[in-house]
Amino acid sequence: MALLELENIRFNYSDKELYKDACLKLNPEDHAVLVGGNGTGKTTLLELAVGNLRPDAGKVIWEPHVTYSYLDQQLKVGQDQSVISYLYGVYEPLFEKEKKMQSLYEEAALGEDGYEKKLDLALRISDELEHASFYSLQEKVGRLTQGLGFSDEDLSKSLSKLSGGQREKAYLAKMLLEENDVLLMDEPTNFLDVTQVAWLADYLISYPKAFLLVSHDEAFLEKVANVVFCLENQSITRYKGDFAHFKTQHEVDLVQYKKNYEAQQRYIKKEEDFIAAHIVRATSARAAKSRRARLAHLDRLEAPGKSAVKVHFHFPFSTHVGDVPLEVEELVIGYSRPLLDPISFKLKKGEKIAILGKNGVGKTTFLRSILSQIPTFSGKFKWLDGIKVNYYDQDKVMDLSLTPFEFIHLHHPELDNTQIRSCLGAVGVRKELAMRAMSELSGGEVTKARIALMTLEKSNFLILDEPTNHLDQIAKDALFEAIEDYPGSVIIVSHEKDFYDGLVDYEIRF
């Protein structure tokens, strides 16, 4: 029996049918990934699986007693508990057992009647603890927190004091420690840096249980998947094998789908011609009518690529103002204490660089420092006069009750309705989406709306902090092109090597 089975699922949001009898079966040996374009319904599918949403038709069946953990995109663990005690909380029952064992030993040591029984029991508990790897917990927790880039200082902080990304990481660490039968994860790499993504991939490869995760990060998917579910044309296709195999097979299937579609179109045309010619003839009207009825029931294939959202980004360029727009000299950054060694580099006109950093320390802090949003310790940075920066802030707090339309209007009241609509339309946020609260949009759709705002700003310097998070491959390609065509200087922070490779002139590693 499958651990989880979605059977003939249908679900629609007011204007959109997301699935037509979609099926998905997760088996115990599956390290599964769910892929599909932005807004196709991946997050919704996970929400259906865990019962946060109910399908309009079809069933969600969990095998009895199967346990799962679910990492969603927006997490809320606000307790006033330190990270480390939160993580050790997973082992609460084992600690209880240890306590019991200790007291049994103590009682047995008194040598009173029945002490042998107590000793026996204590030894049995000790075996159980051993079996549950209790004595290597510290090492296990340590390996995990280190892999995810938690410093000792972070571990003693209370959860409520962590940044959003760190909190997600704490939760991810907890899920990995819990080792429930199934892990469900929605874009777990979004809040990790390069090293951590690599670490997570390795961890998942040897993960002893099943998982189903959503991600647009193909390099990551190539490492972890042994089965791929592809959500497309409102249905889910299962591809056994790794991601590379899926890509090849999917190409083949697309060609076949196109052929089937064309064959169906020819058939429809032929039938329609027949019906049109015969419906009014006394002799053959009956045949025409029955063919018409048959045609009406035909399950029509959607035109290939019809549901793929077209995306185009363009960052308007003002003008060059000199040869070295940014010069950073021995700059020391941090909050309560310096985070990194002094940083020095010069960025020339039109030069594009990627900033890589070990274990999540300081990249965003560096960007904030050179944007003068936070103070620095020592050293300096110098912008040329006339530099106008267009900044994509990874951690920007968004008012998600606004619609994309209102969001753009708020920043650009001078634009009329048509201008706002066409700006959003260009990035793939079509009319219905533009008028719906962003809390009701998919992750990729919100990101597109945010980038739409950037396409309205004239600048000569782009700073992009993890801009590819949530974007599907089509949108990432469009973003790549827009940055490539941009004549100004660019700083990119991204954990996706596939994205910035071939785009930047060089990398800076902190």
User: E strand or H helix at 266, and its extent?
Assistant: helix 243-278
Residues 369-428 that bind Mg ion (CB under 5 A): none
Least separation in angstroms between residue 55's CB and ligand ATP is 13
Among ligand ATP, Mg ion, none, partner that 233 touches (CB below 5 to 8 angstroms by kind):
none
d(CA 123, CA 38): 55
Least separation in angstroms between residue 410's CB and ligand ATP is 20
Q: Considering the complex, state which of residue 360 and residue 443 has its C-beta at the smaller distance from ligand ATP.
A: 443
Q: Considering the complex, state which of residue 449 and residue 491 has its C-beta at the smaller distance from ligand ATP.
A: 449
Among ligand ATP, Mg ion, none, partner that 376 touches (CB below 5 to 8 angstroms by kind):
none
Among Mg ion, ligand ATP, none, partner that 36 touches (CB below 5 to 8 angstroms by kind):
ligand ATP
Residues 29-48 that bind Mg ion (CB under 5 A): 43
Least separation in angstroms between residue 158's CB and ligand ATP is 30
DSSP letter for 179, please: T
Q: Considering the complex, state which of residue 352 and residue 448 has its C-beta at the smaller distance from ligand ATP.
A: 448
Least separation in angstroms between residue 12's CB and ligand ATP is 9
d(CA 62, CA 223): 27
Among Mg ion, ligand ATP, none, partner that 169 touches (CB below 5 to 8 angstroms by kind):
none
Which amino acid does the sequence have at 402? Answer: L
Q: Considering the complex, state which of residue 197 and residue 423 has its C-beta at the smaller distance from Mg ion.
A: 197
Residues 101-140 that bind Mg ion (CB under 5 A): none
Q: Considering the complex, state which of residue 235 and residue 373 has its C-beta at the smaller distance from Mg ion.
A: 235
Q: Considering the complex, state which of residue 55 and residue 443 has its C-beta at the smaller distance from Mg ion.
A: 443
Q: Considering the complex, state which of residue 147 and residue 188 has its C-beta at the smaller distance from Mg ion.
A: 188
What strand order describes the sheet that includes 4-13? 16-26, 4-13, 57-62
Least separation in angstroms between residue 76's CB and ligand ATP is 17
Query: What 3-state DSSP class applies to 234?
Result: coil
Token pair 């051993």 is at which residue?
130
The closest residue (CB) to ligand ATP is: 444
What's the 3-state SS for 319-352?
A: CCCCCCCEEEEEEECECCCECCCCEEEEECCCCE
DSSP letter for 56, please: S
Q: Is 443 in the site for Mg ion (CB under 5 A)?
A: yes
Among ligand ATP, Mg ion, none, partner that 424 touches (CB below 5 to 8 angstroms by kind):
none
Task: Report H helices in 316-457.
Answer: 363-370, 404-411, 417-426, 431-434, 443-454
Among Mg ion, ligand ATP, none, partner that 440 touches (CB below 5 to 8 angstroms by kind):
ligand ATP
Least separation in angstroms between residue 231's CB and Mg ion is 11
What's the 3-state SS for 57-116?
A: EEEEEECCCCCEEEECCCCCCCCCCEHHHHHHHHHHHHHHHHHHHHHHHHHHHCCCCCHH
d(CA 130, CA 89): 18
Q: Considering the complex, state which of residue 55 and residue 443 has its C-beta at the smaller distance from ligand ATP.
A: 443
Which amino acid does the sequence have at 313? Answer: F
Residues lying near ligand ATP in the complex (CB under 6 A) are found at 13, 18, 36, 38-44, 433, 440-445, 470, 472
As beta bridge partners, residue 211 has: 31, 183
Among ligand ATP, Mg ion, none, partner that 40 touches (CB below 5 to 8 angstroms by kind):
ligand ATP
d(CA 57, CA 306): 25
Q: What is the torsional sign of CA 14, 18, 22, 28?
A: negative
- Give the interface with Mg ion as residue ranges (CB under 5 A): 43, 442-443
